[in-house]
Amino acid sequence: MADALFEKGLYSAEELANADIDDLIEVKGIGEEKAKVIIANAQEWVDAAPEREAAEAEARAKAEAEAAEAEAKAQAEAEAEAAKAAEENEAAAEDETQDGSDEIDASAEAATDTSAEVEADGSTDTSEPANEPETDEPAAG
């Protein structure tokens, strides 16, 4: 039946809604009552088009808004992760700096202890005693 309607030049619901009953009756298998039903259904479809288009546009807008919201949420989460990583890196660097500072403090404390020992002992020579060079010759004597 669709092929027969196409042969008559009726390609869309709009064309069927505007068709004459007599044009449809000429198609094999369509009587006057069926022609009236086809035209009425086509007219309903055409009349509902603005509502259908509005509903489709609303659904598209909703889907776009949801996608934008999901993208914004993902971006916010990524930024939060980056900020957390930056804070962790900063804390680790601060710990390393603190550890280095503790080592410097320990070295300074050790140097102070050595100075105190020298002062208590009264000597100023903190170097090791020099060893006599060893020789293969027997000691004179």
- 12-24: b (≥16 Cβ within 10 Å) or e: ebeebbebeeebb
Percent of the chain with pLDDT over 90: 33
Q: pLDDT category, 123, cuts 50, 70, 90? A: low
Whether this prediction's pTM lies above 0.75 is answered by: no
82 pLDDT higher than 70: yes
- Report phi then psi at 136, rounded to 5: -85, -10
pLDDT digits over 13-55, tens only? 999 999 999 988 988 889 999 999 999 999 999 999 888 888 8
pLDDT reported for residue 40? 95
Determine the average pLDDT of the residues in 114-137. Answer: 56
Average pLDDT over the chain, rounded to an integer: 80
Q: pLDDT category, 71, cuts 50, 70, 90? A: very high
132 pLDDT higher than 80: no
Q: What are the residue boundaries of the structural domains of the chain, listed by start?
A: 2-113
* Cα gap 90→86, rounded to integer Å: 6
114 pLDDT higher than 60: no
Kindly report the CATH number that applies to the domain delimited by 2-113: 1.10.150.20
- Report phi then psi at 25, rounded to 5: -65, -30
- For residue 135, the SS3 value is coil
Residue entry with tokens 């009756």: 25
* Cα gap 44→99, rounded to integer Å: 81
Q: Is 43 exposed, middle or buried (0-12, 13-18, 19+ CB in 10 A)?
A: middle
Amino acid letter for position 115: S
